[in-house]
A and B are shown apart, each in its own frame.
Chain A
Amino acid sequence: DIQMTQSPSSLSASVGDRVTITCRASQSIATYLNWYQQKPGKAPRLLIYAASNLHSGVPSRFSGSGSGTDFTLTISSLQPEDFATYYCQQCYYSPLTFGPGTKVDIK
């Protein structure tokens, strides 16, 4: 199975900060990497697909990059509604696997 790791596991940031979350796969997955956002009590929602493509309706302050085994999700200027948990997911090989999540909370 392909193992996904994320760092950090949590971070505290202020509104307006630039935030970067890293995701690493245990083997190369090309760009078969997606990012999801989940707020408490809600279902996850898609943010970024295929490593760097912004899903429809997602603000442009979100961006994704990377290929192979190393990926990043960047929020250029953190907004109050961005405080949530973020998960990466590989869709290269079954079983599909998620990272453990990165919780972003208010400093």
Chain B
Amino acid sequence: EVQLVESGGGLVQPGRSLRLSCAVSGFIFDDYAMHWVRQVPGKGLEWVSGISWNSGSIGYADSVKGRFTISRDNANNSLHLQMNSLRAGDTAFYYCVKDIASSFSDSSGYLIGESWFDPWGQGTLVTVSS
């Protein structure tokens, strides 16, 4: 059974940092691209960042570019999101998501092949507040 388990969420003050992790099992981790998607409670979904199987291609939403860093450790089947300079607007549930594709995008931003997200982790809540 494929499992994605996020951790690292919590309450943090504006301007501080937090690191999310996602432990995966049940599939060959380094065969697939991975993503982080977030959702403000009661609101819609926002893609945050994605990373190809070998970390060779990485993308970010404009809202987090320069502040968040996605990474993966294929040896330990884990995905991470380093979040710096956190703002109140970053308060959300953060979901770890597996892609069907192995690659992400090319240098122009176009995705390499088809992509869809399945499955999703249960989410971890990040609250940015003083």
The yes or no answer to A89 lying at the interface (CB within 8 A) is: yes
A92 touches B117 (CB 8 A): no
Using known A-B contacts A1-B62, A93-B109, determine if residue A34 contacts B117 with beta carbons closer than 8 Å. Answer: yes
B115 touches A87 (CB 8 A): no
Q: What chain B residues lie within 8 Å of A96 (beta carbons)?
A: 35, 47, 50, 59, 111, 115
Contact segment of A10-18, A19-27, A39-47, A75-83: A39-47
In whole angstroms, how far apart are the Cα atoms of A99 and B46 in the complex? 9
In whole angstroms, how far apart are the Cα atoms of A101 and B121 in the complex? 20
B122 touches A91 (CB 8 A): no
In whole angstroms, how far apart are the Cα atoms of A19 and B109 in the complex? 34
B117 touches A36 (CB 8 A): yes
In whole angstroms, how far apart are the Cα atoms of A28 and B44 in the complex? 22
Least CB separation from A35: chain B residue? B116
Least CB separation from B122: chain A residue? A43
Q: How many residues on chain B are close to A (CB under 8 Å)?
A: 27
Interface string of A42-57 (1 = CB under 8 A from B): 0111100110000100
Please classify the interface of chain A as helix (H, G, I), strand (E, B), loop, or mixed, using the class held by over half of its residues: loop
**What band does the interface of chain A fall in when counting residues whose beta carbon is under 8 Å from B?**
20 to 34
Query: B residues touching A (Cβ–Cβ < 8 Å)?
Result: 35, 44-47, 50, 59-62, 95, 100, 104-105, 109-111, 114-123
Q: Can you give 23 contacting A-B residue pairs, CB < 8 Å?
A: A32-B114, A36-B45, A43-B121, A44-B117, A46-B116, A49-B100, A50-B114, A50-B116, A55-B118, A89-B116, A89-B117, A91-B115, A92-B111, A93-B110, A94-B59, A94-B104, A95-B60, A96-B111, A97-B47, A98-B44, A98-B46, A100-B44, A101-B45
Known: A46-B117, A91-B111, A94-B109. 16 other contacts (CB 8 A): A34-B117, A43-B95, A45-B118, A46-B119, A49-B114, A50-B116, A87-B44, A89-B47, A89-B116, A91-B116, A94-B50, A94-B105, A95-B59, A96-B111, A98-B46, A99-B44
List the 4 closest A-B pairs by CB distance, nearest first.
A91-B115, A49-B116, A43-B120, A46-B118
